[in-house]
């Protein structure tokens, strides 16, 4: 393992230059921010529920789990006033979905920064290459040109390797957020139907 690290990983790391550190930092920020959002969504959304299951949850909130149960109980506390039920579910949406939106914006900034940081590495590498060409002193020139090209290519590649999974992660989060919004709408409609029965 140490031989692989010394012979394969370290030369690439060193050739990438100082921008390897912020790129790895961005990769960690993307991973941990994305995982935090997914865990939060999984806790809220729970398992996919049929209409019958949702009706059962609304009838007996104890059958629902975690945060969904709290949402149903909070919504049902406004019965029999349908307008209050709708207002309460609007509050629930504002609390949970806006929090997810704020995290998604932060994640989007990190993901967008990765290829731009890689591009900055390309510019720095090209400057090193031109500097090597300007010196033009035999073997030293070849080494400087090679180092500059290596830095340009490695940082660009790493920036894209970080950004592409980041965009996939953002799409997954958006899908799960939409699923949660749909679930809240279905629960809200079921509770609101209960408000009509009181009338």
Chain centroid to CA 79: how far?
Answer: 37
User: What 3-state class would DSSP assign to 174?
Assistant: helix
User: What confidence score (pLDDT) does residue 199 get?
Assistant: 47
Question: 66: phi > 0 → left, psi -120 to 50 → alpha, else beta; which?
Answer: left
Task: Tell me whether residue 148 is in a domain.
Answer: yes
User: What confidence score (pLDDT) does residue 162 get?
Assistant: 93
User: What confidence score (pLDDT) does residue 105 get?
Assistant: 94
Task: Tell me whether residue 4 is in a domain.
Answer: no
User: What confidence score (pLDDT) does residue 160 get?
Assistant: 92
User: What confidence score (pLDDT) does residue 111 get?
Assistant: 95
Which residues in the chain show pLDDT less than 70? 1-9, 11-13, 15-16, 45-48, 132-133, 136-142, 144-145, 194-199
Task: Tell me whether residue 125 is in a domain.
Answer: yes
Task: Tell me whether residue 184 is in a domain.
Answer: yes
User: What confidence score (pLDDT) does residue 141 get?
Assistant: 66
Task: Tell me whether residue 3 is in a domain.
Answer: no
At 169, list the tokens.
Answer: 């992660």
Domain count, the chain: 1
Whole-prediction pTM: 0.79
Task: Tell me whether residue 46 is in a domain.
Answer: yes
User: Beta-strand (E) ranges in the chain?
Assistant: none
Chain centroid to CA 190: how far?
Answer: 31
Q: Residue with structure tokens 């010196």?
A: 135
CA dist 181 and 92 (Å) reads 10
User: What confidence score (pLDDT) does residue 198 get?
Assistant: 46
CA dist 61 and 176 (Å) reads 23
Task: Tell me whether residue 167 is in a domain.
Answer: yes
Determine the structural domain holding residue 71 and report its residue range.
20-198
Burial class (CB in 10 A: 0-12, 13-18, 19+), 49: middle
Task: Tell me whether residue 87 is in a domain.
Answer: yes
Which whole-number Å values give the CA distances from 95 to 39, 91, 101, 102, 107, in the listed order?
17, 6, 10, 11, 19
């Amino acid at each position: 393992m140490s031989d692989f690290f010394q012979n394969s990983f370290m030369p690439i790391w060193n050739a990438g230059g100082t921008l390897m550190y912020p790129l790895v930092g961005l990769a960690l920020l993307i991973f941990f921010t994305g995982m935090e959002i997914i865990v939060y969504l999984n806790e809220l959304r729970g398992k996919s529920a049929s209409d019958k299951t949702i009706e059962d949850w609304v009838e007996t909130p104890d059958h629902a789990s975690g945060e969904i149960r709290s949402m149903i109980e909070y919504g049902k506390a406004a019965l029999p006033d349908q307008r209050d039920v709708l207002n309460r579910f609007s509050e629930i949406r504002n609390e949970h979905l806006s929090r997810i939106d704020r995290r998604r914006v932060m994640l989007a900034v990190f993901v967008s920064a990765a290829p731009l940081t890689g591009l900055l590495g390309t510019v720095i590498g090209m400057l090193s290459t031109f500097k090597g060409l300007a010196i033009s002193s035999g073997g030293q020139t070849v080494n400087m040109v090679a180092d500059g090209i290596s830095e340009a290519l490695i940082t660009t590649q790493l920036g894209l390797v970080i950004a592409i999974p980041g965009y996939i992660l953002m799409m997954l989060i958006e899908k799960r957020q939409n699923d949660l919004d749909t679930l809240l709408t279905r629960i809200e409609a079921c509770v609101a139907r209960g408000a009509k029965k009181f009338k």
